[in-house]
Amino acid sequence: MNKRDVILSLLDPDGRPPYIPAAFFLHFPPGFREGQAAVEKHLEYFRDTGMDFVKIQYERPFPPIPRHPDPR
């Protein structure tokens, strides 16, 4: 069973993966947060760790949520 099959077996109520899939996440240094450098760094990390799936880190800050005036 390859890594994709292991992950997909989690969706099958009768499926029994041969092990519990795992992954580890981190934020990369500023030079690897955008564009091709980010793609290459994520792939390098994925391949070097041997983890079962990869999560692409979103390195952009979310816009601030406006505060509503106190209704009192």
Query: How is residue 55 written in tokens?
Result: 């999560």
Whether 57 is in a domain gets the answer no
| Dihedral angle over CA of 38, 44, 47, 48, nearest 10 | -130
Whether 21 is in a domain gets the answer yes
CB 21 within 8 A of CB 53: yes
Whether 22 is in a domain gets the answer yes
Q: What range does the domain containing 18 cover?
A: 3-49
Into how many domains does the chain fold? 1
Whether 45 is in a domain gets the answer yes
Whether 60 is in a domain gets the answer no
Whether 63 is in a domain gets the answer no
Each residue's pLDDT, cut to its tens digit, for the chain (72 residues) gives 899 999 999 999 998 899 999 998 888 999 998 899 999 999 999 999 999 998 887 777 888 888 877 766
CB 29 within 8 A of CB 8: no
Whether 43 is in a domain gets the answer yes
